[in-house]
Amino acid sequence: MRRAAAHATWPELVTGESPELPEFRASACASVHRLLLHDMGEGLADGRPVYRASGRDWRTPPLWGLGLIQKVNGHTFLLHDGRARNAAEAVLWHGGEALGAREAFQMMSAADRAALVAFLNSL
Ligand code: HEM
């Protein structure tokens, strides 16, 4: 993955050459996660404000390296408290400002969902 020209408000990342997954070659992926705090809704809230983060706000983690978590950590638990067992479950916990992402994921065809999960696990 290479860093592309900076976007107006945050840097954009673009995937590199990938012979195994040509459909994801040179795809911009910055808009998925901005590495900022976001209100993720009641489902992920812990009700414990920290400085400027309310109990519903979480920092968007970088997604690169996602496919190596099993190898490095020996598990694939995701989200701030490890409640999601994999990337698909993590997306299905998205609410609040990220509700649109969850709904889009739910509305995708099974093939597109599988392709997205394959992409996430290739990062
Ligand atoms: C297709 C779109 C998206 C995908 C595939 C996606 C995927 C993911 C994944 C796999 C995680 C778990 C990462 C980890 O625990 O290391 C995650 C967490 C998170 N995502 Fe997204 N995401 C998407 C869109 C969004 C959007 C639009 C927002 C905000 C507006 C957002 C905000 C967050 C936050 C704040 C977390 C951390 C939540 C927590 O730790 O409880 N995501 N996302």
Which tens digits make up the pLDDT trace of 67-113?
A: 999 999 999 999 999 999 999 999 999 999 999 999 999 999 999 99
For ligand 1, say whether the CB of 78 is within 6 Å of any of its atoms. Answer: yes
Q: Ligand 1: which of 37, 60, 64, 99 to mutate, most ligand atoms within 8 Å of CB?
A: 60
For ligand 1, the distance from its centroid to the CA atom of residue 71, given in whole angstroms, is 21
DSSP state, 48? -
Q: What does the pLDDT look like over 24-51, one tens digit per residue? A: 666 555 456 767 899 999 999 999 999 9
Residue 12 pLDDT > 80:
no
For ligand 1, say whether the CB of 40 is within 6 Å of any of its atoms. Answer: yes
Closest CA to 29 of 58, 64, 59: 64
Residues in contact with 89: Cβ distance below 8 Å, sequence separation at least 6, in sequence order = 78, 83
Domain residue ranges in the chain: 12-122
For ligand 1, the distance from its centroid to the CA atom of residue 114, given in whole angstroms, is 17
Q: What is the pTM of this model?
A: 0.81
Residue 123 pLDDT > 50:
yes
For residue 24, what pLDDT is reported? Answer: 62
